[in-house]
Amino acid sequence: MGEMRDRMLAGLPYRPDDPDLAADGRRAAALLAVYNAEEDPHRRHEVLTELLGAVGGGTTIRSDFRCDYGHRISVGAYCFVNWGAVFLDVGPITLGDHVQLGPNVQLLTAVHPLDPAARRAGWQHAEPVTIGDNAWLGGGVIVLPGVTIGADTVVGAGAVVTGDLPGGVVAVGNPARVVRELP
């Protein structure tokens, strides 16, 4: 493996110009092209299984789905991901069981440095995103790097989740804030 790929997988600062990372990205792009065009549900599941690190039974991810690498994504059983999802998976993305994502949800793990020189040099790192069992993210929700959303939590449409949310709450807004607990 290339040094930068090893650094990325270890959660260390890396530059995405590594040849192995480029090859991983091309593999994901080719599989996504097949997945997003495929109409047969059985074949779609086969391609999704090849693309992702793990995918549970009964899970549906609608087209047009986008990700960087795929192998850093783990999706539990009986999840539903609506149209237009973007998973920037330079860091791990984990969805528990029965997670529901509305259209155009973005799960972002890439972190770019604030230092202009480091950004110009192409350095970045990643922080994982974790969505707990039975969470529901409304349309257009954006989840920033390093965020964990607890089980049974509902995030209102258009929210930007900048920090962890506990389980069993409703959160809305930009930045997302808890507005009530669920029974």
Q: Tens of pLDDT along 38-94? A: 999 999 999 999 999 999 999 999 999 999 999 999 999 999 999 999 999 999 999
Domain of residue 170: give its range. 3-181
Set 45, 71, 112, 125: catalytic member? 112
pLDDT at 11 over 70: yes
pLDDT at position 171 is: 98
CATH assignment at residue 134: 2.160.10.10
112 included as an active-site residue: yes
Percent of the chain, pLDDT > 90? 93
Q: How confident is the model at residue 4 (pLDDT cuts 50, 70, 90)?
A: confident
The residue to which tokens 């972190």 are assigned = 111
Structure tokens at 142: 């954006």
Residue 6, C-beta contacts closer than 8 angstroms, at least 6 positions apart: none
Q: Tens of pLDDT along 92-148? A: 999 999 999 999 999 999 999 999 999 999 999 999 999 999 999 999 999 999 999
Query: Is the link from the previous residue into 18 a cis peptide, with omega within 30 of 0?
Result: no
DSSP lists the bridge partners of residue 83 as none
Please count the structural domains in the chain: 1
- Which amino acid, one-letter code, is at 105? V
How far is it, in rounded angstroms, from Cα 129 to Cα 150? 11
How would you classify the pairing of strands 110-111 and 125-126?
antiparallel
